[in-house]
Amino acid sequence: MNNFPYTGLTPDAFAVIDGNGDNQKLHGTAYFYKTPFGGTLVEIEVDGLPVKNSKSQSSFLGIHIHENGDCTPPFNQTGEHYNPYAAPHPDHAGDMPPLLVNSGYAYSVFYTERFKIADINGRSVIIHDKADEFSTQPSGNSGAKIACGIIKINEAG
């Protein structure tokens, strides 16, 4: 298991993300780290993402943690966004910042206090085919589920 490149931390949980039948080259990983601040540091790296804007070769895609860890295509068993407090979108615990895709590649790191590692174990990370516009209920109109990965505790950590 790779360490976080800037801190040397070993992830406490991870999800290997793979695309659906229409996005077979899509592959990536989400890493989750406990922090001394009580929250979670999330690192996501994905390649093979679809590019929506041919002029700039960049676009945004929605990414969320969903309730269920069942990545059987077409990923319709993943349920809704992880939302233990019944909050409106975009305040679900599983709502994450959108991925900025450049030439099919995205890398993101952020800190959140919305969930702990134990809360998300066994759930799924889902990448959608559209940007999350942060208002439409319940999912920000982020479109179809194009990639999925099941979150697992890192036993090697």
Q: Model confidence at 52, in pLDDT bands (50, 70, 90)?
A: confident
Which residue range is the domain that position 136 belongs to?
13-153
Q: What confidence tens digit (pLDDT) does each residue in 120-152 have?
A: 999 999 999 988 878 877 776 788 999 999 999
**Residue 51 forms part of a structural domain:** yes
Both structure tokens of 106: 């995205």
> Residue 134 half-sphere exposure, CB side, CA atoms within 13 Å?
5
pLDDT score recorded for residue 80:
92
Q: Model confidence at 37, in pLDDT bands (50, 70, 90)?
A: confident
Rounded Cα distance between 43 and 28, Å, is 11
Question: For residues 128 and 143, is the Cβ–Cβ distance under 8 A?
Answer: yes
Number of folded domains in the chain? 1
Q: What confidence tens digit (pLDDT) does each residue in 64-121 have?
A: 999 999 999 999 999 999 999 998 888 899 999 999 999 999 999 999 999 999 999 9
Both structure tokens of 93: 């615990």
CATH number of the domain enclosing 55? 2.60.40.200
**Residue 7 forms part of a structural domain:** no
